[in-house]
DNA sequence: TATTTTTGTGAGCAATCGTTCAACTACGGA
DNA sequence: TCCGTAGTTGAACGATTGCTCACAAAAATA
């Protein structure tokens, strides 16, 4: 063996993630990263190869911990799926004491031209959210809370777009009341997209 | 007087705008800007004070030319307002030959923590889009294409969020078919948000 | 204990960053 | 024609960037 690693990789990734969420990839310098993680460049480059490597690890950790956790808590587990979708949206608006940390998927998608190799990670996270919506919508339909001919795939994609847009508006500093009404609109729009299996009133 | 300015300010702002849309504020170095605009640093700093000044001028130009033009062509002028809303969305997806240049408002909102002084410009542009939606919705309602008790303000905010989300997904490289179905969802969701003036079927 | 192996430390590298400025060029008015 | 003014040019500045590497420290093996 040899000397043992003095730092916890999960903690380091958590603080790096927080930094990238706030400042973006380009906005976070290695001096910032050193300060945030407490790691010196040597250890950093030994473990993560370079800044890109650390970012990818942070993005994976974001998908694995933050996204997955939020999807599970708000979209997969709640007994009332529509209430879960609502809380999924509202929890993105009410970020608590510290200012909005931003969604690493949204930020990275926008920075994509300077970070093309991060695309798979972004896709993965977005797909997880979309899948969560689809699950919640399916359960809502089975419970009778949504029309039986609801187009689940399209509605899930619709909610994903609306959610990403909401995050942009949060970052833009829009008043919270306006953002909450977007959430109301998201819920109200569920059920408007039907499968054209049987045309009732054209 | 003195020597005449050899370059056209509109052209310079257009190329700077294009660069910032692609690469973002931090991603566009002054060497990139020199190459894109053809200006040397001296002229740049004489006219725009610094990089921030150029960015603000480019953001203002974006609001003034791109946003305003798009709002007018798709939302204010068309005889069929709902078809206009549809084309407003689809034209953001089909960006033509060159890859998606991105929306400077979306990108800047996401970069906001490194550019807090750009917030007013972002607000201004977003308000212009939202206002365009509100105008189109009002005309649609007057034409009988939307319910008479449509909640216009909330629906406009809803469409704005959906539009910004669509732009994020475009940047994320989502397949165009999925994006077009988001557009369908946007149109279908119009009319789901009613003013609670008269409760018909609770 | 001596040796090998792994990790931590941080000074310092070349490259690039945003920015400045002194020399130079072109125009209008005297 | 000469001068004052406004604009152009591009070399170069100090600061910061991402990153390297020689060395010190600690654990496992002998």
The ipTM is 0.93
Average pLDDT over residues B128-136: 98
With bands split at pLDDT 50, 70 and 90, how would you rate the model's confidence at B162? very high
Q: Which residues of B touch A162 (CB under 8 A)?
A: 158, 161-162, 165
Q: Which residues of B touch A184 (CB under 8 A)?
A: 154, 193
Residue B150's SS3 state is: strand
Residue of B nearest to A185 (CA): B158
Distance (Å, whole) CA B90 – CA B110: 23
Kindly state the tokens that stand for A80: 């009332």
CATH number of the structural domain B56-189: 1.10.357.10
The closest alpha carbon to A61, from A27, A17, A91, belongs to A17
CATH architecture type of domain A9-189: Orthogonal Bundle (1.10)
The answer for residues whose C-beta is within 8 angstroms of residue A79's C-beta and 6 or more apart is none
Across all residues in chain B, what is the average pLDDT?
A: 93
Chain A 26-45, CB < 7 Å to strand D: 26, 28-32, 41-42, 45
Distance (Å, whole) CA B182 – CA B176: 10
For A12-49, the pLDDT digits (tens) are 999 999 999 999 999 999 999 999 999 999 999 999 99
Q: Tell me if B172 and A26 make a contact (CB, 8 A cut-off).
A: no
Q: In chain A, what are the domain boundaries?
A: 9-189
Q: Is residue B68 exposed (0-12), middle (13-18) or buried (19+ Cβ within 10 Å)?
A: middle
> How many CB atoms neighbour CB B194 within 10 A?
17
Share of chain B above pLDDT 70, in %: 95
What is the gyration radius of the CA atoms in chain A, in angstroms?
A: 20
What is the gyration radius of the CA atoms in chain B, in angstroms?
A: 20
DSSP, res A45: H
Kindly state the tokens that stand for B98: 């060159």
């Amino acid at each position: 063996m040899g000397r043992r690693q003095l730092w916890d990789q999960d903690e380091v990734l958590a603080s790096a993630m927080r930094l990238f969420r706030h400042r973006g990839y380009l906005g976070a310098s290695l001096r910032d990263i050193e300060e945030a993680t407490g790691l010196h460049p040597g250890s950093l480059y030994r473990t993560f190869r370079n800044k890109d490597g650390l970012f990818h690890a942070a993005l994976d950790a974001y998908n694995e911990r933050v996204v997955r956790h939020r999807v599970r808590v708000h979209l997969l587990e709640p007994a009332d799926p529509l209430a879960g979708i609502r809380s999924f949206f509202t929890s993105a608006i009410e970020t608590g004491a510290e200012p909005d940390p931003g969604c690493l998927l949204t930020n990275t998608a926008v920075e994509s031209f300077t970070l093309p190799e991060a695309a798979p990670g972004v896709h993965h996270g977005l797909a997880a959210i979309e899948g969560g919506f689809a699950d919640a919508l399916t359960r809502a339909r089975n419970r009778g809370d949504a029309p039986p001919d609801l187009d689940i795939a399209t509605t899930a994609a619709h909610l994903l777009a609306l959610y990403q847009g909401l995050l942009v508006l949060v970052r833009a500093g829009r008043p919270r009341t306006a953002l909450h009404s977007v959430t109301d609109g998201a819920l109200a729009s569920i059920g408007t997209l039907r499968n054209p299996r049987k045309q009732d009133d054209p």
